[in-house]
Amino acid sequence: MNKDIKLTQEIVRELLDYDPETGLLFWKERHHKWFKNTSAKYSNIRNAAIWNNKYKGKEASTKHKNGYKVISIFKKRYYSHRLAWLYIFGNFPLHVIDHINGIVDDNRLENLREVTNQENHVNMKRDSRNKSGITGVTWDTEKNKWIGNIFYKGKNIFLGYSEDKQILAEKRKQEEQRLGFHINHGRE
């Protein structure tokens, strides 16, 4: 099949079933119009029957190494959360899809929201390299104190120094609230 086909809600709904409560996408029975005649022996009808026997009713997504679920349609790979969005709303999102709870393979509709890149950056998990256990709080070896910072709209906002990292953690949370960060920001 031609990989230059532009996916629409109609095509996606013909090929897939989406369960908004589980976030899973399943292959539907595929019509023979989507298959080529590969030889005189293998007609598009036979190729469709072989494909349907193997895939119909099975989960369509596989997990990518980045943790997101992906689906290949017509030899092109799509993120499952973007296909779910197309399936429900009729268009691919203009911006990014944020997984509200931070679990990138949880594609339940209630866990997906379209946001700008900037909005997505205020709902991020704590960096895996963080050693303090608190986003934006690090140890300054020169001053022998904790230092607090928050990065927002391309600027670093200095929150101060303290011998007690919990003081900076509280300052950081207050600043996150003031700036409109998502409540889940900084989670593990």
- Domain 9-115, architecture per CATH: Alpha-Beta Complex (3.90)
Residues 27 and 16 sit within 8 Å (Cβ to Cβ): yes
Which of left, alpha, beta for 147 (phi over 0: left; psi -120 to 50: alpha)? beta
Distance CA 161, CA 177 (A): 20
Q: For position 7, what pLDDT does the model report?
A: 94
Q: For position 2, what pLDDT does the model report?
A: 56
Between 170 and 41, name the one with better pLDDT. Answer: 170
Spell out the domain ranges in the chain.
9-115, 121-179
pLDDT band at 122 (very low <50, low <70, confident <90, very high): low
What is the percent of the chain where pLDDT is above 70?
Answer: 93
Phi then psi for 96, rounded to 5 degrees?
Answer: -95, 160
Q: Tell me the residue ranges of DSSP E strands in 20-136.
A: 24-27, 62-63, 69-73, 76-79, 96-99, 112-115
121-179: CATH topology is 1.20.5
